[in-house]
Amino acid sequence: PQPLAGELLHSIVEVLQPWLTWIVGFWAAGVLLCSLRPLVGWRTLQQLRRVGVSAPSDEVLEAFQRISTRLGVKRVVQVLNSTIAKGPLVVGYLRPVVLLPVSLATSIPMAQLEAILAHELAHIRRHDFVINLLQTMIETLFFYHPTVWWLSHRIRIEREHCCDDLVIKLFNNAPDYGRALLAVE
């Protein structure tokens, strides 16, 4: 069986050898194009962090600090209201910022807002930024493989579910959290 595998490998190399330059060129062009996506995303997130932001109310800051302590988040995390963000999100890893849309912060009950804040803090506690960075790198290098994109999509969904589960466990109030998620949508 071993010589047969060697012969097969040699045959494949012979067939691909004339096309190798084109294959590598296609791959390099794909990696270059796919590298633009995270760079543009990073720039957009940096703008979200700086433009249209303001300090939240003292009540929100107190709730944020209380939840941060309950979740055991030891890092310094800033929370800001945003006029641009369409939904709550975490920006950054070294100096994370939780951005809350102004309309959300003023339109839902505090219990629901606390659940949303807990969800975002769960992302920080779980170091999801690092996992997302690794995922993006794998997507960039293996852009041509549909299984990579499918698996990456599933991981993102499961990451959200993990944070949802943590919030439900923390507050023990799934219906209220469900209403908060509906308010975000």
pTM of the shown model:
0.83
Type of residue found at 12: I
Per-residue model confidence as pLDDT tens digits over 157-174? 999 999 999 999 999 888
Type of residue found at 40: V
| Residue linked to tokens 């190798």 | 20
Half-sphere exposure of 129 (CA within 13 A, CB side): 16
Instruction: Check: CB of residue 144 under 8 Å from CB of residue 27.
Output: yes
Per-residue model confidence as pLDDT tens digits over 113-159? 999 999 999 999 999 999 999 999 999 999 999 999 999 999 999 99
Structure tokens at 28: 């390099």
